[in-house]
Amino acid sequence: MPKVSVIMNCYNGEKYLKEAIDSIYRQTFTDWEIIFFDNASTDSSASIAKSYDSKIKYFYNKVNVKLGEARKLALEKATGKWIAFLDTDDIWLENKLEDQLRMVDGSDYVMCYSGISDIDENGSVIRSIIPKYESGNMLSQQLIQFDINMVTPLINSDILKKYQISFNDNIIASEEYNLFVRLAAKGKICTIPSIHGLWRISQNSLTYKSAKYWYYDRIMTLDQLVQESPWVPEKFSKELKQAYIRAYYYKARWYMIEGKRNLARKEMIKISLTSPVYFILTIISFCASCWNFLHSDEIKRVLSSRFFNFSKSA
């Protein structure tokens, strides 16, 4: 069995697929397999994947399913001690696996993640972000401000099996949040303050194509977290409450996108007194242009510097 199973979920990902796969083949650590899960693609993704050697295990799903379900099905095919993920338009730096395995081998970490650079469609760096939190137990921090990307995580498969944790196939848009928050309740997480991956942001990808699901996904995730780890509400009551409150903020954002401003304001009013930030946002919700400006991609990148560590920005 390989030491690392790299899961690649693909749906019509031909444009950047070869670049993504090549970045795995360039790894300085070489004991890995690729679980390539083709989610009913109709482009040339299959022929690209099959052009490589036997280190790629190709699986085709006849019917296109939600990403959470697709990730779960792919995970069931993995045999490695450690599980990694790389989507078809993202890239790893060549020392990614070697550096992470050096930190986690022989440890009790449930997972490890590193920094990423956001890149545009041409591969130019927009900004680089390193993990905000130090290694250790960090459920409290992740409930307040989730900062785990989907490009660099390395997960201990023994922990997944021990606690019977996998992707929730009912989750539509936040499958990584669902899995990683639940994992954070099961043990320590290792963070590495180095850039190990490139996350490609396509045009308009930071707009809210999937925002309608953020509220439901978050509520479902937090309910599942409490069900699996009943001690969380008592130990992290404040943090859990904040996490639930953010779900209502997400609902308000979706209503604003849909032009349902009255409904958005009602959601914001519900949470307006829970923090100064939500109070200000509630006031701003009465001015649609101000709200839209504040939630534009560029402004969000600037404001997010309060929550993340930046090594470079544009």
pLDDT tens by residue, 180-239: 999 999 999 999 999 999 999 875 444 456 888 999 999 999 999 999 999 999 999 999
Q: Give yes or no for residue 313 having a pLDDT over 90.
A: no
Q: Give yes or no for residue 314 having a pLDDT over 50.
A: no
Contact between residue 179 and residue 102 where contact means Cβ atoms under 8 Å apart: no
Contact between residue 33 and residue 84 where contact means Cβ atoms under 8 Å apart: no
pLDDT at 206: 43
Average pLDDT of every residue of the chain? 93
**Average pLDDT over every residue of 86-97:** 97
Inter-CA distances, 62 with 9, 41, 139, 261, Å: 14, 9, 37, 40
pLDDT tens by residue, 134-143: 999 999 999 9
**Longest CA pairwise span in the chain (Å):** 58
Residue 253 forms part of a structural domain? yes
Residue 246 forms part of a structural domain? yes
Give Cα 278 distance to the centre of its chain.
24
Nearest in space to 228 (alpha carbons), one of 266, 278, 178, 274: 178
Structural domain containing residue 304: 211-308
pLDDT at 95: 98
Residue 93 forms part of a structural domain? no
Query: Confidence class of residue 1 from pLDDT cuts 50, 70 and 90?
Result: confident
Q: Which amino acid is at 141?
A: Q
Residue 151 forms part of a structural domain? no
pTM higher than the cut 0.85: yes
Weakest mean pLDDT among 114-128, 246-260, 294-308: 294-308
Residues composing the chain: 314
Q: Give yes or no for residue 309 having a pLDDT over 90.
A: no
pLDDT tens by residue, 107-124: 999 999 999 999 999 999
Residue 236 forms part of a structural domain? yes
Q: Give yes or no for residue 305 having a pLDDT over 60.
A: no
What residues contact residue 149 under an 8 Å CB cut-off, 6+ apart? 113, 116, 129, 197, 199
Counted domains in the chain: 1
**Average pLDDT over every residue of 1-23:** 97
Q: Give yes or no for residue 308 having a pLDDT over 50.
A: no
**Average pLDDT over every residue of 246-252:** 96
Residue 11 forms part of a structural domain? no
The count of other CB atoms within 10 Å of the CB of residue 257 is: 16
Three-state DSSP string of the chain: CCCEEEEEEECCCHHHHHHHHHHHHCCCCCCEEEEEEECCCCCCHHHHHHCCCCCEEEEECCCCCCHHHHHHHHHCCCCCCEEEECCCCCEECCCHHHHHHHHHCCCCCCEEEEEEEEECCCCCEEEEEECCCCCECCHHHHHHCCCCCCCCCEEEHHHHHHHCCCCCCCCCCCHHHHHHHHHHCCCCEEEEEEEEEEEECCCCCCCCCCHHHHHHHHHHHHHHHHHHCCCHHHHCHHHHHHHHHHHHHHHHHHHHHCCCHHHHHHHHHHHCCCCHHHHHHHHHCCCHHHHHHHCCHHHHHHHHHHCCEEEEEC
Residue 74 forms part of a structural domain? no
CA distance 273 to 286: 16
Residue 84 forms part of a structural domain? no
pLDDT at 212: 86
pLDDT at 306: 53
pLDDT at 299: 76
The count of other CB atoms within 10 Å of the CB of residue 209 is: 11
CA distance 136 to 21: 31
Dihedral, 120, 70, 73, 60 alpha carbons, nearest 10: -90
pLDDT at 312: 35
| CB-count exposure of residue 124 (10 Å: 0-12, 13-18, 19+) | exposed
